[in-house]
Structure 1
Amino acid sequence: MNASIAIGNEVPDFTLKDNNNVDVSLSQYRGKKVLMSWHPLAWTPVCTDQMRALERNLQRFVKENTIPLGFSVDPQPCKEIWANALKITNIKLLADFWPHGKVAMDYGIFNDRDGISQRANFIVDEKGILKWYKIYPSAELPDIEEIFDILKSI
């Protein structure tokens, strides 16, 4: 499956609740790059490692003028409890819960059979243009160093 947005095109805006029950819109980050890091479900080992890698590397993201955001179709209360359990305090974990998986659908990474998103990373530039994306096998942890190599090249 490929993302439904081509490299070089503007990505759709969205507003989702984060783990703190705050509305987050992509458009609020204009002027910064955004890493949209999708994981299938909270509370699973690879998803946990993926979100912890974002948290651990926050200062590196700041140096690259990048906001990392974590996404899944889990409901907001689940994201809140999960973030607390993982001690994720700086990264926003967004709930694409209702309408169920709408943002994942808009980006072409919703898995209809399982009702979850694929594991994927999207990098959006300061103007809201898709610069890079990669869809991963469900069991594969995205390589954080690959993300930083891409960010440095944009």
Structure 2
Amino acid sequence: MSLIQVGAVAPNFSVKDNNDKPLSLSDFKGKKVLLSWHPIAWTPVCTDQMRALENNWDKFESMNTVALGFSVDPTPCKKVWAVALGLKNLRIPSDFWPHGKVARDYGIFMEEEGMSQRVNIIIDEKGIVQWVKVYPLSELPDINEVIQVLSTM
């Protein structure tokens, strides 16, 4: 499957977050949603990416935006990692089973590596993809760029 395109209807999903609570894209109708995909928990760049989302939580809230830190790591792993990172607000959903299904639906699953690419996807209040950016695996996404894009929507 190819990378999801701007203007596409964002595929709905039903997964569990780091607290083992169900989470679906449809839960956030009327809000913008940032799907911030990181390849794998416990790595330095992924850690910085999740901390940037947590540190800007209030800014996202003020922009009617829900940020979600997605990866294919299993829920128990994400739970412990969220505690280790001191996440208070950010939900970090697990796309573990069926393994990478959501990442596949968005065209960002890397079959050989068994994980997602590093990608930010912004979905508007009506469920339409408005922005997609793929980053090199070793590159920390620029949170200020993401906030700038959200501020123009």
Asked if these proteins are the same fold (TM beyond 0.5), I'd say: yes
Give TM-score scaled by structure 2 length.
0.98
In the alignment, which residue of structure 2 is the partner of 1:112? 111
CA distance in 1, matches of 2:6, 2:74: 29
Q: Any residues of structure 2 matched to 1:1-154 within 5 Å, and which?
A: 3=3, 5-154=4-153
Give TM-score scaled by structure 1 length.
0.97
RMSD: 1.0
Q: Look up the equivalent residue of 1:78 and give its one-letter code.
A: C
Contact 2:19 / 2:79 at 8 angstroms: preserved in 1?
Answer: yes
Unaligned runs of 5+ in 1: none
Cα displacement (A) at 1:26: 0.4
Hey, which bits of structure 1, 4+ residues long, moved more than 6 A?
none
Q: Look up the equivalent residue of 1:97 and give its one-letter code.
A: F
Unaligned runs of 5+ in 2: none
Output one character per residue of 1:63-121: Cα deviation in whole Å (capped at 9) or x when no partner: 11000000000000000000000001200000000000000000000011100000000
Cα displacement (A) at 1:59: 0.5
Cα displacement (A) at 1:57: 0.4
What secondary structure is seen at the aligned counterpart in 2 of 1:100? coil
Q: What is the number of residues matched between the two proteins? A: 153
Q: Look up the equivalent residue of 2:111 and give its one-letter code.
A: D
CA distance in 1, matches of 2:62, 2:7: 23
Contact 1:2 / 1:135 at 8 angstroms: preserved in 2?
Answer: no
Cα displacement (A) at 1:58: 0.3
Identical aligned residues as a percent: 59
Q: Look up the equivalent residue of 1:10 and give its one-letter code.
A: V
CA distance in 1, matches of 2:126, 2:111: 30
